[in-house]
Chain A
Amino acid sequence: MAEVQAVSRPPLILGDKSLSQITSDICAAMLRRPNALWWIGFLIAFSLLVMGAAAVTYQVATGIGTWGLNNTVGWAFGITNFVFWIGIGHAGTLISAILFLFRQRWRTSVNRSAEAMTLFAVMCAGVFPLIHMGRPWLGYWIFPYPNFRGPLWMNYRSPLAWDAFAISTYFLISLTFWYLGLIPDLATIRDRAHPGLRRRLFEFFSLGWDGSFRTWQRYETVYMLLAGLATPLVVSVHTIVSWDFAAAVIPGWHATIFPPYFVAGAIFSGMAMVLTLMIVARTVMNLQNYITVRHVEVMCKLILLNGSIVALAYGTEFFMAHYSGNPYEQFVFLNRAFGPFAWAYWTMISCNVLIPQLLWFRRVRTSIAVVFVLSLLINVGMWFERFVIIVTSLHRDFLPSNWASYRPTSIEVATLLGSFGLFFTCFLIFCRILPMIAMAEVKGVVAHERAERRHHK
């Protein structure tokens, strides 16, 4: 049955490419002079990055008082952005590790860029806690190191300390995984490059890869092991992020549902970001034959699945608030839906629950323009999800005399925009200097599909 399905489906890579065509197509996308669209995107992203850098410099020089925080709302924009960016990163690991273990061959067209997206998103995320420390140059205090204060060690019982370990491990493992996947492709480019600096750089980073099958066999083993390690890792990272909230006693945060709810939400938002990037990349870099409508459709289905889990979690939260009989918990949820931040709540519900329902229709899933708009809306919705969870739970908690409101300052907005600038600047540069599709993996998939077709003739 599985074989029958395999032949009846459209091929993953269109155009019946030969192995050398794959190499030249993907290298050509990289070597071609950047077009106007790329320059426009790059200039916008880079301007945002410069603005963000200026805002961060100002905050560090002046202090966290430049944020709109107050005694009641002690966490707002920074942590929202942090959770948002970490969540974006998770789709990259889903594609590179989890789908690898599930033998989903379509992942090969998107895994390289999705992993790059993970790295850049984690970098963006890391900026926010670092700024919030107020004195970022003392950021290393979060890790245990021999010191002259006793030595005094960090508090291993704090979810914030767990978070520091989780995020740094996640970044290092993602970086290793990404680099390992790049080595054979770096060797391919090295062997095509003309002598010069470029060639020497690729020689250096390809570590003398020569395509020996003995090495390939070990490489495949290690790749599988890393995928096996990255899979529980990605679940643990967002679980720990959710504990930053769930371990507190604030109504609306203190819930056992948080870990699965956060992990599903992370993958939901991340897949939307992968789609945004892939739809732009396939157009700007002329890779329509490699990132096909079928890829877009499969990712839409994953969005639909994770979106449904997120919607179920929203419902469960309300039910649990009601069922717990806890007046504070009940109040927080009514306040979310009908209080001063109702606009944020309903933005979140529309973008994350209502609009994704369109993806049930095949016509919508296969229309690139519509999917692009949907992916942007889901990203907006998921940003608001974190904002709603964080701000509405804090601004009216137990004592009415303690209530306050929150509005971000222009500095905070500039920092958020700056993080988008950092993300897109990195991504656009990545598209230009490294192969954004894993050539060696795509070749394996194409050869496999061709063999499958031959056996069925």
Chain B
Amino acid sequence: MSGRVMVGIFQDEDDILSITREVRKEGYTILDIYTPYAVHGLDKAMGLQPSRLPWVCFALGLVGAVAKLWFEYWATAADWPVNVGGKPWNSLPAFVPVTFEVMVLFAGISTVIALFVVSRLYPGRRAATVIPGVTNDRFALVLEETDAAFEPVQVRRLLERHGAVEVIERAEESLP
């Protein structure tokens, strides 16, 4: 491992899409791509697997719903049954609205927390923006200079052919 990376900087979403497909075809290792907005189709071009966060959403939603339904039953029919207008202790249909709300609350909040955990986003984290401008109007492709097969000159030419406005090489320590 050379410990060096090459950063190609682009101005247009079409350029970043085409260069991503190209470098993947050539077999280079993409460390990450930095973009100012969610570029449609870039996940496929990068070959990213679909996120598994929907499972967190489903599981925690289920936990919330089951726990709340059980609690409503326990509080109303087991722990201290109160006769409300002669309704049955276990008034299951009346428990549905609150169960639904708690399910949504659990599913929603836990999915966002899971996103923060897996993406390592937390207050006080130093943003390691690869170049200034990726949160404004620049797209940056970060390639790992893996081994002898990586020809910096050739790759640089490839990036420039796809519209790179700038190509930087630097040591990997400076990157996230």
Contacts and interface: CB of A to CB of B under 8 A. Distances in A.
A215 interface: yes
A203 B127 contact: yes
Nearest to B120: A208
Given A187-B135, A191-B132, A207-B121, A221 B54 contact: yes
Given A207-B116, A216-B35, 13 more contacts: A155-B76, A162-B101, A165-B98, A173-B108, A183-B121, A184-B37, A188-B135, A211-B36, A215-B119, A219-B115, A225-B108, A230-B108, A441-B37
B118 A218 contact: yes
B126 to A, nearest CB: 6
Contacts of B82: 152, 155
B136 A188 contact: yes
Contact of A225 (B79, B111, B119): B111
19 contacts: A156-B95, A157-B91, A166-B101, A172-B108, A173-B108, A173-B109, A207-B121, A208-B126, A208-B128, A212-B176, A213-B32, A216-B35, A216-B37, A216-B38, A221-B54, A440-B38, A447-B13, A447-B37, A451-B14
Interface string A393-410: 000000000000000000
Nearest to A152: B80
B119 to A, nearest CB: 4
Interface stretch (A17-25, A273-281, A358-366): A17-25
B62 interface: no
Interface string B13-46: 1100000000000000000111111111011001
B53 to A, nearest CB: 5
A230 B101 CA distance: 10
Interface string B82-111: 101001000100110110111011011101
A225 B91 contact: no
What are the 10 closest A-B residue pairs judged by CB atoms, nearest first? Answer: A208-B125, A19-B137, A153-B75, A207-B121, A20-B137, A157-B94, A162-B97, A221-B51, A211-B134, A213-B33
Contact of B48 (A151, A156, A208, A217): A217
A229 interface: yes
A173 B37 CA distance: 23
Interface in A224-257: 225-226, 229-230, 232-233, 236, 240, 243
Given A169-B105, A225-B57, A451-B14, A210 B97 contact: no
Nearest to B13: A447
Interface string A156-199: 11110110011001001100110010011001101110000000
Contacts of B130: 210
A210 B129 contact: yes
Nearest to B57: A225
A214 B119 contact: yes
Nearest to A221: B51
A165 B129 contact: no
B112 interface: yes
Given A203-B127, A207-B122, A210-B128, A150 B108 contact: no
Nearest to A150: B80
Given A162-B98, A173-B104, A208-B122, A214 B32 contact: yes
Contact of B71 (A144, A203, A210, A447): A144
A208 B127 contact: yes
B134 A204 contact: no
Contact of B76 (A150, A151, A153, A225): A153
A386 interface: no
Contacts of A144: 71, 75
Contact of B136 (A156, A192, A210, A441): A192
Contacts of B48: 213-214, 217
Given A144-B75, A211-B135, A229-B107, A165 B127 contact: no
B96 to A, nearest CB: 9
Nearest to B42: A213
Q: Max chain A CB contacts within 10 Å: which of B54, B75, B82, B119?
A: B119
Contacts of A151: 79-80
A191 B108 contact: no
B84 A240 contact: no
A16 interface: no
B29 to A, nearest CB: 14
Given A155-B82, A165-B102, A232-B104, A209 B75 contact: no
A441 B121 CA distance: 20
B135 A225 contact: no
B136 A217 contact: no
A278 to B, nearest CB: 22
Nearest to A446: B37
Interface string B38-76: 111011001010110110010001000000000110011
Given A207-B121, A443-B37, A218 B97 contact: no
Nearest to B98: A165
B137 A156 contact: no
A53 to B, nearest CB: 30
Contacts of A208: 120-122, 124-128
Contacts of B123: 204-205, 207
B136 A23 contact: yes
A213 B121 CA distance: 14
A243 B50 CA distance: 40
Q: Max chain A CB contacts within 10 Å: which of B36, B71, B133, B134?
A: B36
A100 B114 CA distance: 22
Given A144-B75, A151-B79, A218-B118, A165 B101 contact: yes
Contacts of A213: 32-35, 38-39, 42-43, 46, 48
Contact of B129 (A211, A222, A441): A211
A222 B136 contact: no
